[in-house]
Amino acid sequence: MSWKDKLRQVEPYVAGEQPKLENMIKLNTNENPYGPSEHVKTVLNSIDTDHIRLYPNSDADELRHALAVYHGLDDDQVFLGNGSDEVLALSFLTFFNGDDPVLFPNISYSFYPVYCDLFKMSYRQVLLNEDFTININDFHQSNSGIIFPNPNAPTGLLLSLDAIEQILKNNQDSMVIVDEAYIDFGGQTCVSLIRKFENLIVIQTFSKSRSFAGARLGVALGNKEAIAHLYDVKNSFNSYPIDYITQQIALASVLDSQDMKEKCQRIIRTRERVKVQLKDLGFIVPDSYANFVFVSHPQIDGQQLFLALRKAGIIVRHWQQPLIDQYLRITIGTDEQMDRLIAFISQYLKEQGAVTK
Ligand SMILES: *Cc1c(COP(=O)(O)O)cnc(C)c1O
């Protein structure tokens, strides 16, 4: 016997790389190119270091209230955590405790199977259609819980509120978690369904639309009783997941949500013209509602294009996985960054002799 016989051995999630290359164009982890509101800067610059000496408010009450007002909910319907990855982990732990498998799409956020393995939950990956759309009837089978991103990652495809309502109706005996990491980029949030369905939890993040990836804040929204159970689990794990500084600057971000909406509109405009340009170059471009596009080219190898881009200092995301190994996920950056991406790809396609419009 050794300590190794008592290990909890897991295969961890691998995040997109954060390389340090000069003049690189970083389009691989869906960060927001425009940064947070000016109010965030003002608040950050005025932080009194005496607050760092003290423990923060454990449930971030002031921020929680501001978010409740923003979403039209009560304070006790809002839960906060250290990034939505932590909120997701705590939600799996709280809600997915049956004997049946947890269900999620086979092409989806690759952290979900990692949490299932970590917590020793069984799961079943529900197959998407060939065009990456979700067939909602496939989520009508026994389960211990359901989770999917909307828009889905990394495809960017959006499910309608009607479709989500149908999934909720078909699964009233288990919790359905909708991961809305990208909802501010043109989708319709399903927060309004919380009033109608007590088996719904909506998870959002400040990382993408609010440019807070480096500060770490995630949110869960749901009925009061479910959220109270989530707090019980959180308080059995970490009483202070959100530091004082993040609480203050996140509050400034919520109070200036107009700034976030304007920056998202800019990203949406850039995304829509990049979709057209990539289609003109012969790419297959699923209709993304997120701050990225997921694209493949019938005449060009995905891995080769990924490596060529990298050599040119343009970092995108590629998975060497069946079904999606010909696809690249490209974050929508500034207009100038996207111009350089398109210019490089046009030239590359010419050199490879690919036919374009
Ligand atoms: C980025 C992302 C998250 C995690 O966001 P953090 O708040 O930065 O932890 C969760 N779900 C999906 C689908 C994401 O793409």
Indicate which atom in ligand 1 lies nearest the CA of residue 88.
10
Q: What is the Å distance from ligand 1's center to 83 Cα?
A: 7
- Count CB-CB contacts under 10 A for residue 162: 8
Q: Is the CB of 92 under 6 A from ligand 1?
A: no
Q: Which of 84, 91, 111 should be mutated for ligand 1, with most atoms under 8 A from CB? A: 84
Cβ of 85 less than 6 Å from ligand 1: yes
Query: Which residue has its alpha carbon closest to ligand 1 atom 12?
Result: 181
pLDDT in tens, 40-54: 999 999 999 999 999
- Phi, psi angle pair for 314, to nearest 5°: -110, 110
> CA nearest 282: which of 196, 354, 227, 333?
354
User: Residues 215-264: pLDDT tens digits?
Assistant: 999 999 999 999 999 999 999 999 999 999 999 999 999 999 999 999 99
Residue 180 three-state SS: coil
Lowest mean pLDDT among 13-27, 130-144, 333-347: 13-27
Distance 84 CA to ligand 1 centre (A): 6
Ligand 1 atom at minimum distance from 83 CA: 7
- 28 C-alpha vs ligand 1 centroid, how far in Å? 13
Does the C-beta of 16 come closer than 6 Å to ligand 1? no
- For the entire predicted model, the pTM comes to 0.97
- pLDDT exceeds 90 at position 157: yes
φ/ψ of residue 259, rounded to 5: -60, -45
- Write out pLDDT tens, residues 3-19: 999 999 999 998 888 88
Atom 11 in ligand 1: residue holding the nearest Cα: 181
**pLDDT-above-70 percentage for the chain:** 99
pLDDT at residue 31 is higher than 70: yes
Residue 22: Cβ within 10 Å count: 5
User: How far from chain centre, in Å, is Cα 159?
Assistant: 15
